[in-house]
Each structure stands twice: as structure tokens, then as C-alpha cells.
Structure 1
């Protein structure tokens, strides 16, 4: 007798958790949760040292500040990038979105990477590297498979940027395995500038488009956002060149000069997008604020290298905690609402989250001379943790329950 769906041996329907049914659900939720954990752990470590204490041992094998940098870049940020690409690329190409199997497998690999790095003091460094490095190739395969089915020449740049992210992560692991003497700091820098280049490209598409659409819906009568093709191309080119200049053997002065030009171009692009008309709509102004921090971060880093006016680490945090932090939060809050069938309006707690993350980045970059190192780090880390805790509080039910019917 043939089996039917009612046969006890074949369940009528697999009970798949909603959070595993779409990439944005799993990776955005995981990124938010991990961001809270990682920043809280880093802040606790700093707080103990600020109080004059010390830890007898740590679960990770690398210096805590390198663990912090690695996990915020190749843990948190890469998870947001994964959630974005797994959701956006099918929309770009008209292909089927990745299903629960891919989300579950790739998500498990990402989680395994976080556990391997956290417990790296107890594991072979080659095993840690193999587990942690596996995620980006898996993500790249899914992206390539969909881009290859359609003519998506301009989007192939993202495969190159994913390769650069993988390279930055690899550089860190090569130092931790003892194969190179000094690659971790350069690997973090490459990850930050590669992520910044993604913002220059994707932000340059969505910020003016979302702003134009919102102003048209609101009946705006003044000039609408305008992008100039030559300016967009120049801004993207110099952001890509700045990322390439993070590779070993490139003179720092070249990276500094490229950063200044990339920063100026980003700010010139932003002027044409009419950000001042979005002040009443937080889900829009956060995008403009993040892009402003991108341009400012490039400028801060370039001036840091060329003039020494700002410590390099502080300048990097304008790009990382400032631009990357605020843009990833902005994209997660907006994309989650849109793909979950919710209205594109954020609640007051999310507005507070936007402000907290922006303040965290600015304080980390500029407030040390005013408040002192530990005080600044603890305040900045606390604000960041608050911002993403608010994101989890508001978006957990959105990301874990089915899409609302229209």
C-alpha cells in the first residue's frame, strides 16, 4: 500500500521554526543577540581591569582586545551581511530565496565559529581556523549560484568583497596559529574597510531611493534626492581602492590618502540626498546619519594616518562602531519590517537604539581625552549594549513569528 501524508511514518508537515524559514530572520536575530553578548563580555573584562582586578584565565587563546575586534567584525557584522545577502540577492535576480535547510546549515556553521573562537584556548588553533573560516565560502556559494543565473555584472563586486572579508579573517587566524608574526591588526582593518565599501555601494543605492519614495508618498513639493552617476562611481571606486590598500605591503600613507578622498566623495554624495527632509522619519534619517558617519570615518582615518591628529584606533571606531554599527542596525530594523509584512515605522525604543549606537561610536572615537580610557570604554560599551538589547526586545517577536498577511 502506498504511503500517504497521513501515514504515521511521514509527518504531514515538518514543524520548522519560523526563525529558520528566512535568512534575515535567523541572521539578524543572531547578530543582535551575539552583539549584546560580545559587547557585554568585553565591557565586563574592561570593568574588572578598571577596578584593579584581573582574570586568572580566559576561554579564548588570543588577546581579549583582538577577540573583541574579531568577533564584532567577523562575527556580528558578517552575520548582518549574510542576512542581507541571503534576502536581497533573490530579489535582485528573481530567484528562489534560500530555504530552511540552507539557513539551518549555514547558521549552524556561523554559531560553531563563534563557539570555536570563544573556547579557542582549549582547542587546536587550526581547528578553530577551519571552523570559523568555513562560513563565508558557504555564503558566497549561495550568492554566486543566484547571481550566475541572471545577468548581474554590477553585483559580482560583492563576491570580491566577500573574498576580501574572508582574507581579513584568514590573516587573523594565520597570526593566531603562529604562521605569521603580525596579521591580526591588518586583518581587522581589511574587514572594516571592506564592510565600509559595501556601505558605500549598497547605501548609495538604497538611501536616495528610499528617501525619494518616502518624500513622494508624503507629497513633498521641494527638490527630490538626486544622485550623480560620476560621483557615485568615484565614491565606490575610492572605497574599493581604500579596502585594497589595507592589504600587506601597501604604504600606510596611500591608505590615508585614499581614505580622505573616499570620505569627501561620500559626503558630497550625501548632500544630494536631501537628508534634512527626513528628520521626522527615524527609519530614514538613521540611513543618512550612518552614511554621514561613513564619510566622517574615512576622513578621520585618513587624517589620523597623514597628520596624527587622532589615534588610529579611535579613527577606526568612527568607521566600525559608528558607520558600520549604525548602518547595520538601520538595515536590520528596516528590512525586518518590510519582509515580515509590517509597516515601515519604528517604535520609540528603536529610535533610542539608533541614538545609543551612534553615541557609542562617537564616544569611543572622541571622548577618551575628556573622560579617560576606561570610563569612555565602559560608557560606550554600555550604550552599544543598550541599543542592541532594545533591538532584540522589539524585534524578537517580529523575527520569530510568521509574516503578517496584507
Structure 2
């Protein structure tokens, strides 16, 4: 009788709309974190976290953007996409709640910057990424497939980077923690490059033929993994030889691969559709970010941090939002007919990226000093608008969902 009761409880949990698959739970969680964190940091704490002393506040902020907002988005994407790619059952119910439970403690501590709890929440963060690694690896093992094994490898490296950051904080090696945070950001750029190579095929084909009956667009096979590969080489060089000019030249090469990929969006007027344009602009921001990093390392009068901001806010902020929009419709059984909230969210994110970057490039000097808070407000508004518009879709999926293979 007890077993039957537990099974019944588990079944009821699994039937909850947000627990049917990973993205239905983690995308709104990520959006909520992205919306609230900058507002709390800029308005309540004024960029100074109350319980941090040795660890700089900007490292906490970077960590929570990468492992908090983007980490939750990654969990939602992979727990939905990998079962779809491998034709296996997705994780549901308690499996997703366990993943969420491991993710949450680090976000509470990171929001306040509580240094005394760096170790215990480091354990939960590493456990979160390790469990996500298993959720990605298990379907691949079941199908004996290596086609998408790169995602498992990079999740494992992401977990190791988090482990390294926590260890560096605990031992007072703040410079090393900063390097590893940059490496973590670059790892997420690899995820972006790999994911866009798959998602963009569906998005562009549906933009060209909304009926889905034909697939007029075919990507160039040489571009599919070129950007991800070059970014990987840059990441290794930047971590191993931080004082060499070699990573700067490799950053320029990575920029070239993203700019070359822009050719995929030469599809006529269909490129002006918001879901298509958002991915194209995110790709352009990636190219621009690596270009600035490379030029900075070779002595140009531009800060490396400006390139990193173009990558973190511009490229990844917009790319994650675009995935939220596309998957939020497709995985709830809806066609890619975007509500107004989707258009507004993309516009707000583009504005957040421009406001964050331009003063650092010597443009828009009147925004200097104000651009931190203004960019954070626009960023929060972008994810807040998406959440308000798409949460009803996620809570009420239609009968048949269509993925983004």
C-alpha cells in the first residue's frame, strides 16, 4: 500500500505541466533568476554584496550569471534536447526537482555573496552539474551514440571549471578564479555555437516555409562545428598561456568563424523575422566580442572586459532569450508565430547589450557611469517580459509538441 501511495504521488508530480520536461521548468526558473538578480544587486545592494570581503563583487556577479542564469538555461535545454535527439524518454517529475534542488542553494548564497558558505554551496553546484552530465550521458549510452557526445564532454568541463573556481576562492587565489570565470564563459560560448548549429536549421526553414512541408535551407557542413572548435582552441590557449599573444591571435580566428557563419542568415527578407534576427545578432555579437578580445591582447586601445561583456550580455544574453522563445513555442505544441512579448524582449535585450558596451568603446559618453544600472534594468525587463508572455504557454502546453531537432 505504501509503495502504491508513493507511486501515485510520483505520478501526480510528473503530470504537473512544468515537470513534463526540463525546459518547461528550467527556462522560467532561469528567466526569474535573470530578472531578479540584477535588480537586487543594483537597487538594494548598489553593486556591493553585504557578506563578501575577500571575493570581489564582480566575480560573484559573473559567477551567478554564468552558473546561475545560464546554468539553469543549459539544464533546461539539454534535459529536453538530448532525449529528443536520441529518441529516449525525457527526465520528468522528481528527476527535475532533484536537479533544481541542487541548483537553488548556490543561487541564494550567490545573491548575497555569503563567503562563509562558499564550500557547501560549491558542493551543491558541482553536484548539480555532475547530475546534469549524467542526464546527458545516459541517453547516449543507451543508444550507443557518439553524435552528440560533445555536449556531455563540455558539461563535464563546465563542472570542473566550477570546482576550480570554488577551490580558488577558498584558497584566496582570486586571479585564478577570474581566469576560470572567463574560461567558464568561453565554455558557454561553445555550447552556444553547438546549439545554434542545430537550432538554426529549424528556425530558418520555418521562416522560409512556415508550413514545415519543405526544407529549403541546408547549412554548409563545414560551418557546423568550426566556431565551436576554434573557441575551444582559444579557451585552452588562454588558460594555459595567459601572458602570451597566441590567445589574442586565436581570438581573432574565433571571431572570423562567427563572422563567416553570418552567411547562414543570407536568406532574404525572412532574416527580419525576430526569431531569425535574434540568433543572427547573437552570432554577430560573438564575433565582435572575440574581435575586441583579440585586438586588446595585441595592444589596441580597448579593454578585454569590453569584449567579455559583448560575449556575456550581448551574445549569450540574446542567444539564451532566442532559445527561450523558439523552444517555448515549439515545445508547447505551438507554431513560430511570436507574441508581442517575444519581439519586445529581444528589443530590450539588444538595447541592454548596446548600452552596456558603447560607453566602454568611447561612444555615448553621457551614459558613462549610468550604463551599469541602465543595462541591468533593460536586461531584467527583457527576461521579465518573456516570462510574463510565455509562462502561460509553458503552463498550458497543447496536445502535440514539436521539437527543434
Is 2:375 the counterpart of 1:380? yes
Which of residues 182, 187, 198 in structure 1 aligns to 2:191? 198
- In the alignment, which residue of structure 1 is the partner of 2:354? 362
Is 2:261 the counterpart of 1:269? yes
Which of residues 281, 284, 295 in structure 1 aligns to 2:287? 295
- In the alignment, which residue of structure 1 is the partner of 2:403? none
Is 2:277 the counterpart of 1:282? no
- Structure 2: distance between partners of 1:187 and 1:344: 38
Query: Do 1:225 and 1:274's aligned partners in 2 also have CA atoms closer than 8 Å?
Result: no
- Structure 2: distance between partners of 1:200 and 1:234: 9
- In the alignment, which residue of structure 2 is the partner of 1:322? 314
Is 2:32 the counterpart of 1:17? no
Gaps of 5+ in 1: 50-54
How far residue 292 of structure 1 moved from its aligned partner, in angstroms, is 1.7
Which of residues 337, 340, 349 in structure 1 aligns to 2:332? 340
Q: Cα–Cα, structure 1 residues 162 and 393, in superposed 2: closer, same or farther, change >3 Å?
A: same
Cα deviation digits, residues 78-102 of structure 1 (max 9, x gap): 1111100000000110110001111
* SS of match in other structure, 2:114: helix
How far residue 303 of structure 1 moved from its aligned partner, in angstroms, is 1.5
Query: Do 1:186 and 1:248's aligned partners in 2 also have CA atoms closer than 8 Å?
Result: no
Calculate the aligned-residue CA RMSD, in Å.
Answer: 2.9
Cα deviation digits, residues 177-229 of structure 1 (max 9, x gap): 1263522211221111111112222212322442134313479x9x9545332
How far residue 374 of structure 1 moved from its aligned partner, in angstroms, is 2.1
* SS of match in other structure, 1:74: helix
Gaps of 5+ in 2: 401-405
Farther off after superposition, 270-279 or 304-313? 270-279
- In the alignment, which residue of structure 2 is the partner of 1:389? 384
How far residue 3 of structure 1 moved from its aligned partner, in angstroms, is 9.7
Is 2:34 the counterpart of 1:40? no
Q: Cα–Cα, structure 1 residues 288 and 353, in superposed 2: closer, same or farther, change >3 Å?
A: same
Cα deviation digits, residues 299-334 of structure 1 (max 9, x gap): 122122223332111110111101100000000111
Is 2:204 the counterpart of 1:211? yes
- Structure 1: distance between partners of 2:3 and 2:123: 43
Which of residues 79, 83, 90 in structure 2 aligns to 1:86? 79
Q: Cα–Cα, structure 1 residues 21 and 11, in superposed 2: closer, same or farther, change >3 Å?
A: closer
- In the alignment, which residue of structure 1 is the partner of 2:397? 403
Which of residues 131, 134, 141 in structure 2 aligns to 1:138? 131
Which of residues 155, 169, 187 in structure 2 aligns to 1:162? 155
TM-score (norm 2): 0.88
Pairing of 1:74-113 with structure 2 (within 5 A): 74-113=67-106
* SS of match in other structure, 1:380: helix
- Structure 2: distance between partners of 1:10 and 1:335: 30
> If you compute each CA radius of gyration, which structure gives the higher value, 1 or 2?
1
Q: Cα–Cα, structure 1 residues 313 and 42, in superposed 2: closer, same or farther, change >3 Å?
A: farther
- In the alignment, which residue of structure 1 is the partner of 2:25? 26
Cα deviation digits, residues 338-377 of structure 1 (max 9, x gap): 1111221222222111011122122212224313542111
- Structure 2: distance between partners of 1:41 and 1:246: 33
Is 2:245 the counterpart of 1:253? yes
Q: Cα–Cα, structure 1 residues 141 and 117, in superposed 2: closer, same or farther, change >3 Å?
A: same
- Structure 2: distance between partners of 1:197 and 1:10: 41
Is 2:110 the counterpart of 1:117? yes
* SS of match in other structure, 1:154: coil
- Structure 2: distance between partners of 1:243 and 1:363: 27
TM-score (norm 1): 0.88
**Count of residues in Structure 1 that have an aligned counterpart in Structure 2:** 395
